Chain A
Amino acid sequence: MVRLPRRAVGERLRRGRSVGEVLEEELAFARVGPFKDGAFPSPLHSERIASILGVALGVAFLTCFATGLISHFAQQPTDLGFLSMPAAPAWLFRFTQGLHVAAGTAAIPLLIAKLWTVFPKLFAWPPVRDLAHVVERLSLIPLVAGSLFMLTTGLINTSSWAPWTFSFTAAHFWTSLITIGALIVHIGAQLPVTRRALSRTAARDQPEPANVADTRGAGLSRRGMLISVAAAAGVATLTTIGQTVRPLRELALLAPRHPDMGPQGIPVNKSAVGASVVDTAMSPDYRLTLVGRDGQERTLSLEELRALPRHEAVLPIACVEGWSASARWGGVRVRDLAAMVGGPDGVEVMVRSLQKGGSYSSSQLNAAHVRHDDTLLALEINGETLHIDHGFPARLISPNRPGVQQTKWVTRLEVI
């Protein structure tokens, strides 16, 4: 661009230039630094790479969104009719939440690479063309801010760290809606670009330079960049996914949990000390209270509880933070306990902990879970008496439920 000496706006207007022309000229003078043509010389700032990364990110984000909604609804009150969590298959929650965290982790290098690829577009010229372009560009603010927020807070939360003062679960849920909404706008706007960039003709029309290494300023080829980003996602996944995929546990060098590490070889989210239940849980006065629909109560000591018909179930503890570990649990069926206070088939049960306060001091079992053979008030883990951090004297264990709803230190079962 040749720069001519710049005349004052008023002078140019007096010389008969239209306001539009002068405005365009003024805008052109403002085009400096990253706004200039050629400010970003790398051939990797291409529509094709942006499109490939965009599609991969879209798949990762929608996977996170769907699995996140499963967890959200699993933790809602149970009377949602056909939307209630089923009790089978037992592995479903473990699978979806492991996938949620793995997809989010793998999305980190994808997002950073994608933002790098499209960064020059931030300085597009002219800044806006029409109303559609304004809307499209403004929606990038919630899209980028939301994407970074979701991946950052999700990652940090998997390490049980909360450097913020908002509620993680509430913020992660509502911000996901903001982000996915902005993503829908973005997909609508970029569909033609993506379709064009990924078509076969596009690959033929913009072939990769034959010898990339010899072109000045070049480094990674397009394929090389995609391979590197895939390798980055692969390393991030391999070094963390062993927290839920047990055969890969020895590779999980950077995972916040190890599926074999914890009291009795199983990880713990909330310790007895953390829940302030040490004294009440160890007390010889411990009693389990069963409450029927009609208000009748029955109390059982630990000895009486141990004397009831004992059943075993192999079930995972699966946490929304992406770890899971299986154990063989022994204890009394919850439906048998409900029947002791006249609870017929099809009832729901409220499970209450010795823990005072906190949103996880109680949980509700829906009818499908109460009815299931494997839903136990567990007294043992892998043949041993429960460690106090696993909920001694008695804890709930039930298939396909979030770990936080496997209530520990259970003191009361109410048939509802």
Chain B
Amino acid sequence: MKPSRSRAFWPMTIAGLALSAYGLVGLLGEKQIGDLMSWLTYFAGGLLLHDLLWAPLVALGSFVLVRVVPARVRPVLQGALIVTATVLLVAYPVLNGGGRLPDNPSILPLDYSRNIVIVLVAVWAVAGVLIVRAALVPRR
């Protein structure tokens, strides 16, 4: 389906590209930017990791899941996996603990390995209840 272009297309494209170009020029001209190669690694790295690793892995996972898991429990399982993946991603920096400093215990003060278990147990407890319910409810 070929989308029609809105009248705002070219004005917004030009304005947006101008802002992006200003950002790029600013970045390259910034005296305090530090290592630009490191910036490029993170900038391009996220895109490549997503498109070449994450997306194919999720596709493969979905392919297997659809064939292995019965249809009635599939939705809850998928939902729980979405929440689990998010929690693990968001918790990765605190679990890694790279920010810890011996002279400042107020940074990352909690026991995150224990806490991630608590959060995931709670998520899967809810999912478990929903799965049992989905399995018990008679088919319409």
Contact = CB atoms under 8 A, between A and B. Distances in A.
Contacts of A254: 87, 90-91, 94, 112, 115-116, 119
Given A115-B55, A182-B20, A185-B12, A257 B109 contact: yes
B125 to A, nearest CB: 13
Given A153-B42, A164-B42, A213-B71, A181 B33 contact: no
B83 to A, nearest CB: 5
6 contacts: A108-B90, A164-B35, A167-B32, A178-B23, A188-B12, A274-B101
Closest 3 CB pairs of A and B: A188-B12, A177-B23, A181-B20
B109 A258 contact: yes
A220 interface: yes
Contact of A227 (B3, B79, B85, B91): B79
A53 to B, nearest CB: 12
Contacts of A212: 75
B42 to A, nearest CB: 6
B120 to A, nearest CB: 10
Interface of A: 42, 105, 108-109, 112-113, 115-116, 119, 122, 129, 132, 135-136, 139, 141-142, 144-146, 148-149, 152-153, 155-156, 158-167, 170-171, 174-189, 191-193, 196, 211-214, 217-221, 224-225, 227-229, 231-233, 235-236, 239-240, 253-258, 261-263, 267-271, 273-274, 389
Contacts of B65: 219
Interface string B90-120: 1101101011010111111110100110110
B27 A274 contact: no
Main DSSP-derived SS at the B contact region: helix
A158 B93 contact: yes
B38 A164 contact: yes
B129 interface: no
Given A116-B58, A166-B36, A167-B34, A159 B108 contact: yes
Contact of B44 (A145, A156, A165, A263): A145
A227 B26 CA distance: 40
A148 B46 contact: yes
Contacts of A262: 105-106, 109
Contacts of A136: 13
A127 B2 CA distance: 13
Contact of A166 (B34, B47, B71, B110): B34
Interface in B40-94: 41-44, 46-47, 50-51, 54-55, 58, 62, 65-66, 71-72, 74-75, 77-79, 82-83, 85-87, 89-91, 93-94
B22 A181 contact: yes
A145 B52 CA distance: 13
Contacts of A236: 86-87, 90
Contacts of B109: 257-258, 261-262, 267
Q: Which of A146, A180, A254 has the most C-beta atoms of chain B within 10 angstroms of its own C-beta?
A: A254
Contact of A213 (B34, B75, B106): B75
B132 interface: no
A152 B48 CA distance: 14
Given A219-B65, A254-B112, A122 B104 contact: no
Contacts of A269: 104, 107
A156 B99 CA distance: 9
A183 B23 CA distance: 13
A141 B30 contact: no
Interface in B3-36: 3-6, 8-13, 15-24, 26-27, 30, 32-36
A105 B89 CA distance: 10
